[in-house]
Amino acid sequence: MSRKKGEQGAKTADWSGLDDDILIKAFLNGDQTAFEVLFKKYRDMVGRLSCSIVKDESAVDDIVQEVFLLAYRHLENFRGQAAFKTWIYRITVNEAIRHKNKGKRWQPLPENEAEYSQLPSTLVVMENGKNPERILIDGQQKSLVHRALAQLKEHHRLILVLYYLEDQSVHEISVILQIPQGSVKSRLYYAREGLKQVLAPILYGEGHQSPENVHAL
């Protein structure tokens, strides 16, 4: 390894623990290494989220490349009103959906669910305690999670991925998807219910319905 490459690698390692806002300022001041650090920090996240939307691993690399190319070109317009992570999520969602829809401009999905204020405040879970949220959070049954998520409507799958797998808050998801926080909560509720229905036959065998005797957390 040349001395120059070695010094660059050491600098990248030294910068890896810096906050995003410091890295952004450094990049805008002309230091390309700062953007490289941001890329390495978020590329896996962008890949995961892209794959969950397009469900085509062969397309993920192209989407990741396009996301970071857009971020590189437009970072000077980033105003810090949301976290950089939220901003890059927003770009990822748009690019993945654009790719999936073959260039069609993405429009927010229509709201068919009831308003959140009309929904129960408790979370319904399965009788034996294997609630869908815990399966998602634990991440111990990846194949099960992917099988279940693949059967959900796109906007329900996306909301669960963002909230449980990517650990985004309701406010952050609202910014990413550009929908009201009440709509985020509404989709989360119906996505959980949908996941519960999908998981029942996977967990207990075909023909099995979700237990009617449920309890709430």
Q: Are residues 64 and 125 in the same domain?
A: no
Q: Kindly report whether the global pTM for this prediction surpasses the value 0.85.
A: no
Determine how β-strand 124-125 pairs with β-strand 215-216: antiparallel
Count of domains forming the chain = 2
pLDDT in tens, 175-205: 999 999 999 999 999 998 888 888 777 665 5
- The CATH number of the domain holding residue 28 is 1.10.1740.10
Judge whether 211 lies within some domain: yes
- Residue 110 above 80 pLDDT? no
Q: Are residues 120 and 210 in the same domain?
A: yes
| Mean pLDDT to the nearest integer, 135-143 | 56
CB atoms near residue 195 (< 10 Å)? 24
Judge whether 179 lies within some domain: yes
Q: Taking a C-beta distance cutoff of 8 angstroms, is the pair 168, 89 a contact?
A: yes
Write out the residue range of the structural domain in which residue 57 sits.
11-100
Q: Which three-class secondary structure state does DSSP give residue 210?
A: coil
- Residue 13 above 60 pLDDT? no
| Mean pLDDT to the nearest integer, 18-28 | 91
Judge whether 2 lies within some domain: no
pLDDT in tens, 39-89: 999 999 999 999 888 888 889 999 999 999 999 999 988 877 789 999 999
Q: Are residues 129 and 81 in the same domain?
A: no
Which CA distances in Å does 186 have to 96, 169, 173, 179, 193? 23, 14, 12, 11, 11
**Residues forming a β-bridge with 5:** none
Last residue of a domain, one of 67, 100, 133: 100
Q: Are residues 90 and 21 in the same domain?
A: yes
- Cα atoms in the Cβ-side hemisphere of radius 13 Å centred on 79: 1
Q: Taking a C-beta distance cutoff of 8 angstroms, is the pair 156, 112 a contact?
A: no
Judge whether 184 lies within some domain: yes
What tokens were used for 6? 């070695």
| Residues in Cβ contact with 121 at an 8 Å cutoff, skipping those fewer than 6 apart | none
Judge whether 110 lies within some domain: no
- Measure the CA–CA gap between 48 and 146, rounded to whole angstroms: 12
User: Which DSSP helix (H) or strand (E) runs through 154?
Assistant: helix 154-160
- The CATH number of the domain holding residue 195 is 1.10.10.10
Per-residue model confidence (pLDDT) at position 177? 92
What tokens were used for 128? 């034996």
